[in-house]
Structure formats: structure tokens, C-alpha cells
Amino acid sequence: MSLKSKIESLLFVSIRPLNIGKIAEMLEADKDEVKTALEELFVQYSDKEKGINIQKQADKYQMVTNAENGKIIRDFLKDETTGELTPASLETLTVIAYRGPIAKTELELLRGVNCSLILRNLLIRGLIEEKEDKKNMTTTYEISFDFMQHLGIKEAKELPDFDKLNSDENLLKFLQSGKNEIAAIATSEDTATESAEKAPDDFAI
């Protein structure tokens, strides 16, 4: 694959702007070559007829939807963020709840699929938060204070069987069994105060 193709893929899956240095580091490429490729992509995606454009500010670039399609996107996002969570979103939320703070790479390793769009959706809903891990130069995700309040817990450790499910192996087995105890309480306002006391088998999707 060409350098431009790799950069295009990174911009597509990234949930935040990427700077030239970060892209060069990830692709082990020369900064000047990355900058040239980014500028070519910027011009390529400047066509007003395209549904996707690229924005740039200083040395940061990000893929965005065409502003002319704003109403369609707003209506879609409204439906996405007010409707019930999909099974994939619920599974991702469960992993973050029991393993957070967790990096996107680790999350995708556990789930086996790209989680960019799901993470964006959960962030918009206010169910998770992202934090910069400056020591490891990465971004991590954990459940939000609002979500914990909704669950009726003071910290993630109060989740059912937290000590048991906190390990990757047990969590994977749990996810494969189809038991997502967060599913019911993630979309219902009626169970917030009692969720922390329930065992996994007491919850239904």
C-alpha cells in the first residue's frame, strides 16, 4: 500500500485530528513525505461534491462530513444517540467498564474489530470518557461519572463480579456467553439505584 493510502485509512478511523508527527511515527515514515501526502489528500478531498472532506489546522488533519450534508448527519446522529445501544456498543461498553482505563488498541484486540465509530457514539452519549495517557503517549477510555451515577455506583469496582471479570480471559468468556449485564441498565432509567447489587444472571439484554 502507498503512504497516501495508509494515511487515508488512519484519518478515516481516527476519532480526533492527527498531526503530521504522530502519523509519521505510526507509519515509520519521513515527516516531509507525510506532509506531502497529506496535502495531496487535502486537495483530493476538497471537491464540494464529495461526502467526505478533510479539514486542517496548523499541522493537524481530520476527515469530516461535507457541511452541505449537515442536516442529514444531524438527523442520523440524533437517531444513533437516542435509540437503544447496539449489541456491539453494549459489548464495547462492558469491556471499558470492566477493563478501563483501556487503550483503543487493547480494546480492539479483545473485541477483534475496529471500534472507532462505536467509541465516537459512546462519547457522544456521555457514557464514556477519554483521557490522554502522557506516560505511554496514548489515549485511554473509561466509563463516565454520569454513567456511574446512572448505574448507582461510586466506582467501577462496584460493578457485579468486578474482581472476577476484570481479567481479559474471564471477560472474554463472559462476553462470549452473551451475558451483558450492562445492557439493560445502559438504556433504562428505572434501574439506576439497584444495579450495583445485582448479579450478572439477573440482567437481560
Q: Which band of pLDDT confidence, cut at 50, 70 and 90, is reported for residue 175?
A: low
Judge whether 28 lies within some domain: yes
Q: Are 184 and 115 members of one domain?
A: yes
- With b for 16 or more beta-carbon neighbours within 10 A and e for fewer, the 132-155 pattern comes to eeeeeeebbbbbbeebbebbebee
Judge whether 168 lies within some domain: yes
Report the alpha-carbon distance of residue 39 to residue 16 in Å, rounded: 18
Cell 440482567 belongs to residue: 203
Which CATH number covers residue 23? 1.10.10.10
Q: Are 104 and 194 members of one domain?
A: yes
Q: Are 59 and 88 members of one domain?
A: no
Q: Are 53 and 119 members of one domain?
A: no
Q: Are 18 and 61 in contact (CB under 8 A)?
A: yes
Q: Are 58 and 114 members of one domain?
A: no
Q: Which of 26, 44, 68 is the last residue of a domain?
A: 68
Mean pLDDT, residues 138-153 taken together: 86
Closest to 97 (Cα-Cα) out of 121, 122, 117, 80: 122
In terms of DSSP H, where are the helices of 28-86?
31-44, 70-82
Total residue length of the chain = 205
Judge whether 75 lies within some domain: no
- Give the DSSP H or E segment for 54: strand 52-57
Q: Are 89 and 189 members of one domain?
A: yes
- What tens digit of pLDDT does each residue of 46-88 get? 888 889 999 998 899 999 888 888 888 777 766 665 667 788 8
Q: Which of 68, 93, 112 is the last residue of a domain?
A: 68
- What tens digit of pLDDT does each residue of 85-122 get? 788 888 899 889 888 888 888 888 888 788 888 898 89
pTM over 0.85: no
Residue 45 sits in which domain range? 3-68
- Number of compact structural domains in the chain: 2
Q: Are 64 and 41 members of one domain?
A: yes
Q: Are 161 and 199 in contact (CB under 8 A)?
A: yes
Q: How far apart are the first and last CA of the chain?
A: 41
Q: Are 64 and 94 members of one domain?
A: no
Per the structure block, which three cell numbers stand in for 197? 447489587
Q: Are 55 and 64 in contact (CB under 8 A)?
A: yes
Q: Are 144 and 57 members of one domain?
A: no
